[in-house]
């Protein structure tokens, strides 16, 4: 791999020298050319210099998917500062972790988030707060419709200096400072993004210029996956997540795409967003695509969509086929393109786009990426189609978890040749053609009374492939001191009137499939839909552990309605408190 020795923004500017008149962003009726966007970045860079921001400083952002939030990142990248992108829900619960522990002196926050974060901000050592509106880069009409929320005097925190985005912008425009980018340093930090926290306390992933530039080089090796200058890329995932920063923002800009910003995250408006913005490319959560299944879509009406991407969680085969059939009827040119990765790997490490007749595979390895699957007991490589722990080596690897030496020790592994591997803690297989299938988290399991590992995703896949089941998720609960599997199920609409009979049928199928009786679901719960996490944007399975009523249990006497008082429903810790918040991001 030929490495790019520059900041990310310098790389993007260089790649777009012949596309300066092309449209870089559309947002709320406004359009910015690449030339105008680069000029905006320069203006904000000078503004940060005027505020005293310097190389190596950590600047915290609690923002939505707006053009100015993207420009802030690249402006800070230009002078060697590090952008820490924090979900407002996380900040609300543990603000000191993101400000005091990282010595961050400047917080950039959306005006609509500020009232809910005010008390959390007051608990920190923050020195400056910049307040931004969701319509900073928008047409005048939108500014009238969605007015800036000015802070009241009683909302101002004593000892904290405040500046609005328009004031900051003017500061940059009037600045006589010269922008001097620091000399290139290998493995120079540029961003901190946080994991979804689905397996514990969210960890801060430190990404470098090298990681983001190397992903662009990987895209080059794949000819941009078919993307080209002027393609319309709909940005639905907030840039606080690694997937968005890398695949929804950074690489599309590198290829000269027009990035259409939708800062209001709502999978239920996915079809409306597609019809309104008519993108060629979109990265959505699985929840976005599931929302299409119940929509009345005119045949051929989505023919403009070339590349529908998703990732972040395994997709059951039956569900993938249903989504593909729906999109094909609507005229979408490609089946669902599934990618697998982690923020720790600069995100995508494999994708299924090149697999003929693909369905729900995790995919083939990206160029320059290596993988191995290791037996968790022997620590030796497994055979073809055998399950084990997936480990990955990639030129887009994170530098570290910030302030977390224990997690770093558990994640990184250096082999005898000096190659650095990352431990995904995911269970996967690989076949003769090099096609990987990531089945689920190794933690998505429990130990039965005889010491055997029971993988919940195996039970889930069995149930999900029942023709009457639309979606399924298995959750382990501790009941009377024993861990038991609980199946949460969304039935197909036509099957809901026969719900108890279908639960009985599913239970019988599980008894035939699994010889271990402790793998048979202890109880089932029927749902209209799964909740969406206000934190990660994915389907929120963790909150299911709090539910105590409405379960169905299959016995010899029939299907009975029961309540479950589990140990999990009584627990509270940081991540569980966060997941109870319902702030709309």
pLDDT at 146 over 90: no
pLDDT for 584 equals 36
Could you report the per-residue pLDDT of 64-98, keeping only the tens digit for each? 999 999 999 999 999 999 999 999 989 998 999 99
DSSP class per residue in 141-207: HHHHHS---PPPGGGSPTT-EEEEHHHHHHHHHT--PPP-PPPP-TT-EEEEEE---TTSS--EEEE
What is the rounded CA–CA span in Å between residue 76 and residue 63? 15
Mean pLDDT calculated for residue range 257-272: 94
Indicate the fold that domain 368-441 takes in CATH. Luciferase; domain 3 (2.30.38)
Mean pLDDT calculated for residue range 142-149: 75
Q: Which residue has the higher pLDDT, 201 or 319?
A: 319
pLDDT for 198 equals 56
**What does the block give as tokens for 336?**
């669902």
* CATH 2.30.38.10 residue ranges for the chain: 368-441
pLDDT above 70 covers a percentage of the chain that reads 95
Query: CB neighbours (10 Å) of residue 410?
Result: 12
* CATH 3.40.50.980 residue ranges for the chain: 8-265
Among candidate residues 527, 530, 533, the one with its CA nearest the CA of residue 581: 533
**What does the block give as tokens for 125?**
């050592």
Among candidate residues 250, 249, 251, the one with its CA nearest the CA of residue 262: 249
State the pairing for strand pair 58-62/82-85.
Answer: parallel
What is the rounded CA–CA span in Å between residue 357 and residue 565? 45
Mean pLDDT calculated for residue range 554-565: 95
pLDDT for 581 equals 47
- CATH code reported for the domain at 8-265: 3.40.50.980
pLDDT for 575 equals 46
Query: CB neighbours (10 Å) of residue 450?
Result: 7
What is the rounded CA–CA span in Å between residue 347 and residue 553? 40
Sequence-distant (6+) residues with CB within 8 A of 140 are none
Mean pLDDT calculated for residue range 363-375: 97
Pick the CATH number of 445-580 from 3.30.300.30, 3.40.190.10, 3.40.50.720, 3.40.50.1980: 3.30.300.30
CB distance 15 to 57 below 8 Å: no
- The DSSP bridge partners found for residue 477 are 484
Give the pLDDT band of residue 585 (cuts 50, 70, 90).
very low
DSSP class per residue in 395-459: TT--SEETT-HHHHHHHEEE-TT--EEEEEEEEEEE-TT--EEEEEETTSEEE-TTS-EEEHHHH
- The DSSP bridge partners found for residue 68 are none
pLDDT at 480 over 60: yes
Tokens 């099957």 locate to 495
What is the rounded CA–CA span in Å between residue 199 and residue 575? 9
* CATH 3.30.300.30 residue ranges for the chain: 445-580
At 362 the three-state DSSP class reads coil
Could you report the per-residue pLDDT of 506-558, keeping only the tens digit for each? 999 999 999 999 999 999 999 998 887 655 556 677 788 889 999 999 999 99
pLDDT for 148 equals 79
Among candidate residues 286, 292, 307, the one with its CA nearest the CA of residue 353: 307
Residues listed for the chain: 585
The answer to which of 12-16, 194-198, 382-386 has the lowest mean pLDDT is: 194-198
**What does the block give as tokens for 100?**
């005091």
pLDDT for 139 equals 76
DSSP class per residue in 492-546: -GGGGGGHHHHHHHHHHHHHHH-SSGGGS-SEEEEES-PPBPTTTSSB--GGGGG
């Amino acid at each position: 791999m030929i490495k790019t020795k520059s900041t990310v923004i310098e790389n993007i500017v260089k790649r777009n020298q012949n596309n300066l008149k092309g449209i870089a962003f559309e947002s709320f009726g406004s359009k910015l050319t690449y030339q105008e966007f680069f000029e905006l970045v320069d203006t904000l860079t000078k503004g940060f210099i005027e505020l005293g921001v310097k190389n190596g400083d950590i600047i915290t952002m609690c923002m939505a998917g707006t053009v100015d939030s993207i420009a802030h990142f690249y402006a800070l990248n230009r002078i060697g500062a590090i952008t820490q992108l924090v979900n407002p829900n996380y900040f609300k619960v543990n603000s000191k972790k993101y400000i005091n522990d990282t010595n961050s002196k400047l917080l950039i926050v959306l005006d609509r988030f500020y009232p809910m974060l005010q008390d959390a901000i007051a608990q920190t050592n923050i020195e400056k707060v910049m307040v931004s509106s969701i319509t900073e880069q928008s047409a005048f009409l939108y500014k009238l419709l969605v007015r800036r929320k000015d802070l009241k005097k009683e909302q101002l925190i004593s000892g904290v200096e405040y500046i609005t985005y328009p004031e900051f912008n003017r500061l940059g425009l009037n600045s006589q400072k010269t922008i001097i980018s620091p000399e290139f340093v290998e493995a120079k930090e540029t961003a901190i993004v946080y994991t979804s926290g689905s397996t514990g306390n969210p960890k801060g992933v430190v990404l470098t210029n090298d990681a983001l530039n190397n992903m662009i080089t990987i895209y080059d090796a794949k000819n941009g996956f078919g993307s080209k200058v002027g393609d319309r890329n709909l940005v639905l995932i907030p840039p606080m997540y690694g997937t968005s920063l890398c695949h929804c923002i950074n690489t599309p800009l590198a290829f000269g795409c027009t990035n259409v910003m939708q800062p209001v995250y709502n999978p239920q408006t996915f079809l409306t967003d597609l019809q309104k913005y008519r993108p060629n490319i979109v990265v959505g959560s699985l929840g976005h695509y599931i929302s299409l299944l119940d929509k009345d879509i005119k045949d051929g009406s989505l023919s403009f969509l070339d590349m529908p991407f998703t990732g972040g969680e395994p997709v059951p085969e039956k569900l993938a086929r249903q989504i593909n059939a729906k999109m094909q009827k609507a005229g979408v040119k490609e089946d669902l393109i599934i990618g697998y990765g982690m923020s720790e790997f600069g995100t995508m490490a494999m994708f299924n786009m090149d697999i003929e007749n693909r369905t729900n595979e995790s995919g083939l390895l990206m160029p320059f990426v290596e993988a191995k699957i290791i037996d968790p007991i022997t620590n030796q490589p497994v055979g073809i189609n055998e399950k084990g722990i997936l480990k990955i080596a990639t030129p887009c690897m994170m530098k570290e978890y910030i302030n977390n030496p224990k997690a770093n020790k558990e994640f990184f592994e250096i082999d005898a040749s000096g190659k650095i591997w990352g431990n995904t803690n995911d269970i996967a297989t690989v076949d003769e053609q090099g096609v990987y299938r990531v089945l689920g988290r190794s933690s998505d399991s429990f130990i039965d009374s005889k010491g055997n590992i029971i993988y919940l995703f195996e039970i889930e896949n069995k149930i999900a492939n029942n023709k009457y089941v639309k979606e399924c998720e298995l959750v382990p609960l501790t009941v009377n001191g024993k861990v038991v599997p609980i199946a949460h199920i969304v039935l197909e609409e036509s099957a809901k009137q026969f719900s108890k009979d279908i639960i009985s049928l599913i239970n019988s199928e599980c008894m035939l499939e699994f010889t271990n009786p402790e793998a048979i679901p202890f109880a089932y719960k029927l749902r209209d839909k799964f909740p969406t996490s206000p934190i990660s944007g994915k389907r929120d399975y963790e909150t299911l552990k709090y539910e105590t009523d409405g379960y169905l249990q299959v016995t010899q006497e029939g299907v009975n309605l029961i309540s479950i008082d589990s140990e999990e429903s009584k627990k509270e810790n940081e991540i569980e408190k966060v997941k109870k918040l319902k702030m709309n991001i």
